[in-house]
């Protein structure tokens, strides 16, 4: 390689490693932002899960009251004493089943919300990991570039492409 191309080769080597480092950081930041966005979506889904569960639980309570009321009306229309015996027990059983159903709805909503919370925490951890990976990649690119540039300099000097006393001759 000629002496005229030596500075270009060294500059290209240095530039390439700087570009690689910048690209690594940029990619890490991008991946971290994607993970942060995913965490925000998961947190929003957590809120929606609780809200949907509360709405379903409220609807279940209304349906249960309706069922108990219909049972009482049916009992009364058949001439039964609605305030004693098995008639009261039937309505109490329906109310208890409705309550159990409401608790099941609440529990399912809490489980769904907890899943979204776990997902959000995982995404936040991934975001931090992605940023760290970008920085680590940049450091690796700079170290690799420095090694490669040093090797290139040595090869150019040994081949005579870097002339003694030139501005690139560092006396090594």
Domain ranges for the chain: 6-159
Instruction: Indicate if the pLDDT at residue 1 is higher than 70.
Output: no
Residue 150: per-residue pLDDT: 86
For 82-95, what is each residue's pLDDT tens digit?
999 999 999 999 99
Q: Between 85-159 and 6-77, two packed helices, what is the crossing angle to 10 degrees?
A: 180
Q: What are phi and psi of 109, to 5 degrees?
A: -65, -40
Is residue 103 very low, low, confident or very high in pLDDT (cuts 50, 70, 90)?
very high
Q: Between 6 and 82, where is the model more confident?
A: 82
Is residue 2 very low, low, confident or very high in pLDDT (cuts 50, 70, 90)?
low
Residue 74, classed as helix, strand or coil, is: helix
Q: Report the share of the chain in percent with pLDDT over 90.
A: 74
Q: Burial, 6: exposed, middle or buried (Cβ in 10 Å; 0-12, 13-18, 19+)? A: buried
Instruction: Indicate if the pLDDT at residue 15 is higher than 60.
Output: yes
Helices and strands in the chain, H and E counts: 2, 0
Contacts of 67 (CB under 8 A, 6+ apart): 94, 98
Residue 9: per-residue pLDDT: 83
Max mean pLDDT range (6-10, 55-59, 80-84): 55-59
What gap in Å lies between CA 60 and CA 102, rounded to an integer? 6
Residue 171: per-residue pLDDT: 67
Is residue 79 very low, low, confident or very high in pLDDT (cuts 50, 70, 90)?
very high
Instruction: Indicate if the pLDDT at residue 51 is higher than 70.
Output: yes
């Amino acid at each position: 390689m000629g002496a005229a191309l030596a500075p270009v080769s060294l500059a290209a080597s240095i530039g390439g490693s700087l570009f690689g480092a910048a690209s690594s950081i940029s990619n890490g930041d991008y991946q971290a932002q994607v993970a942060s966005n995913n965490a925000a979506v998961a947190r929003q889904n957590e809120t929606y899960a609780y809200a949907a569960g509360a709405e379903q639980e409220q609807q279940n309570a209304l349906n249960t009251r309706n069922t108990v009321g219909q049972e009482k009306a049916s009992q009364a229309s058949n001439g039964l004493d609605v305030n004693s015996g098995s008639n009261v027990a039937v309505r109490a059983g329906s109310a208890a089943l409705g309550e159990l159903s409401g608790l099941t709805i609440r529990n399912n909503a809490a489980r769904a919300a907890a899943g979204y919370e776990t997902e959000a925490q995982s995404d936040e951890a991934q975001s931090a990991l992605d940023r760290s990976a970008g920085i680590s990649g940049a450091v690796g690119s700079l170290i690799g570039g420095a090694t490669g540039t040093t090797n290139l300099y040595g090869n150019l000097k040994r081949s005579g492409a870097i002339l003694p006393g030139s501005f690139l001759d560092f006396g090594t």
